[in-house]
Structure 1
Amino acid sequence: MNYVELDSYSRKWIFTHASMPVEADDLAQIKPFTQARSAQLWREHVSSQSPDADHFEKGDWPADQKIWSQSFDWQSAWDGDDIDLPDAISAELSWEDNTTVFFCYEKYNVVETKWGVFKRNWKNFLFFDDGPLLLGRKKKQAVWFKSNGTFQIGHRPDRTPSGE
């Protein structure tokens, strides 16, 4: 089994919070991975050595500052009434709504959903903003959300993840 039932997910409340409830159709498409599957995806797509964004080191592709854009603000959009993703993300990521995405909180906590679901509910995903990475399956671009309220868009290096 690769997924944890959403009802058993430790962070389920971020998707069912009274102030920002996620529609039932979208909830059905938010699939947290088991810790073992999360760790496997993290190793394949993010880092084989670092457990979270605070510990990236030489050899981890996210640690390469040359691949990242300038920093943009996400916090003010999150705090505002507008539900749309920040423009810089929408402009850079022209993914189809049915593109599978991985929202990587850390090595043992990765959530799979579709790009369209993420776009509609991005604020929920960012209730925890301790450096998560958004990756599109078979996509080069990545978004790194920083806990200081900014994000950067980067291009992952060429490497073929196993099992994809």
Structure 2
Amino acid sequence: MYQPLETFSKFWIFKRDDPKIEPNDLDGIRLLTEQRANDIWRDYISDEQLHPDKLSDESWLNSSSLMSDEVSKVQWEKVWESDREQLPEDFLSHFSAWGEDTKIYFCCHNELIFETTWSIFQRTWKAFLFLDNGPILIGKKKKQAAQFFSSGWCNLLLR
């Protein structure tokens, strides 16, 4: 189900001093095996496409944003580059129904998915967003989701 996090080719993003990830939090970040990642991708993201770049306009990701562009898009990069540790307020508001122990998946593509909890993600999000080329954040059995882009914006979504 899991493989050693150290096998991830960009493991350095979790070992940097800035942002620093505490050892307990690092222990709570799991890299799924390719088979388990494929299962999560198929069940939560798409059973047709293998990468966020390939998702069609009919995909739930491209058709499920919230009511207006002002509400459904959040600028994350300015906060990421600042000294502020907390995620942007509009982002946190979208996920306010999630409990600290909600199991989350940070889905880069069908074979690269990380599993952790919402509380750990909130503390370590800056490390995860070194991977900003379309990854999707979803929660197990939750309807809220987000997709991050290298433009510095993310789309807030509902599944």
Is the TM-score greater than 0.5?
Answer: yes
SS in 2 for 1:152: strand
Q: How does 1:3-152 map to 2 (within 5 A)?
A: 3-64=2-63, 67-69=64-66, 70=69, 71-94=73-96, 95-152=98-155
4+ runs deviating over 3 angstroms: none
User: 1:41-91: CA deviations, max 9, x gaps?
Assistant: 101100111121111115421121xx2132220010111110100111111
| Mapped contact 2:28–2:117 kept (Cα < 8 A) | yes
Query: What is the RMSD of the two structures over their aligned residues, measured on CA atoms?
Result: 1.1
C-alpha distance in 2 between matches for 1:20 and 1:81? 10
C-alpha distance in 2 between matches for 1:35 and 1:59? 26
C-alpha distance in 1 between matches for 2:152 and 2:100? 25
Under a length normalisation based on structure 2, what TM-score does the superposition of the two structures give? Answer: 0.92
Partner residue in 2 for 1:160 = none
Q: Percent same amino acid at aligned positions?
A: 33
Offset of 1:145 from its aligned partner? 0.8
Paired letter, 1:83 = E
Partner residue in 1 for 2:156 = 153
Between Structure 1 and Structure 2, how many residues are aligned? 153
Note the residue ranges of structure 2 that are not aligned, 5 or more in a row: none
C-alpha distance in 1 between matches for 2:151 and 2:57? 22
